[in-house]
């Protein structure tokens, strides 16, 4: 599995994974730190082509998942994460590494049905801190990892 910075050309694939509009994901790539996981059979040095696909630019089958995060004050906030269970572990490790280097806390909100993300958080040492805020009338759980 290769982990790399997301590109604007990945917006269609990110939108497919996150079930969000492509424009929203394009903005995410511009506004946050976004890392993507690719299958290790993908050549990370190959040029990106914009061939004719149903997704216009990137293909969701090229990506195994993504994570977006930002830092404010003394906390790294994971704003979105999605993908395969294995990819979620590798991707969640990205903001954790950043936070460790900066001696910051990491916070993550997880939907109750996101078992793969919960498992990734547990594997990396996150602690469940109880209920988080509701998003579009859906509950979340707050997880935190202290430096």
**The total number of structural domains that make up the chain:** 1
Q: Which residues share a beta bridge with 83?
A: 65
pLDDT of residue 39: 84
pLDDT of residue 52: 45
Alpha-carbon separation of residue 122 from 24, 70, 118 (angstroms)? 29, 21, 6
pLDDT in tens, the chain (147 residues): 899 999 999 999 999 999 999 999 999 999 999 999 998 765 555 555 544 444 445 566 679 999 999 999 999 999 999 999 999 999 999 999 999 999 999 999 999 889 999 999 999 999 999 999 998 888 999 999 998
pLDDT of residue 59: 60
Contact 53, 47 (CB under 8 A): no
Q: Are strands 75-83 and 105-110 parallel, antiparallel or unpaired?
A: parallel
* Cα atoms found within 13 Å of the Cα of residue 97, Cβ hemisphere only: 7
CA–CA dist 139, 84 (Å, integer): 22
Q: Residue 52 has what DSSP assignment?
A: S
Contact 48, 12 (CB under 8 A): no
Any idea what the CATH number is for the domain that residue 76 is in?
A: 3.40.630.30
Domain that holds residue 71: 2-145
């Amino acid at each position: 599995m290769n982990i790399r910075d997301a590109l604007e050309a990945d917006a269609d694939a990110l939108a497919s994974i996150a079930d969000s509009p492509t424009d929203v994901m394009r903005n995410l790539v511009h506004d946050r730190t976004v890392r993507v996981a690719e299958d290790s059979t993908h050549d990370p040095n190959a040029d990106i082509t914009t061939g004719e696909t149903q997704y216009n630019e990137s293909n969701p089958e090229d990506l195994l998942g993504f994570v977006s995060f930002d830092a404010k004050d003394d906390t790294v906030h994971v704003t979105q994460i999605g993908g395969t269970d294995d990819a979620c572990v590798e991707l969640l490790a990205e903001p954790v590494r950043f936070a460790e280097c900066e001696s910051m806390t990491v916070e993550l909100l997880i939907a109750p049905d996101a078992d793969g993300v919960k498992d990734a958080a547990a594997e990396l040492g996150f602690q469940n801190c109880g209920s988080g805020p509701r998003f579009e009338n859906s509950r979340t759980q707050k997880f935190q990892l202290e430096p």
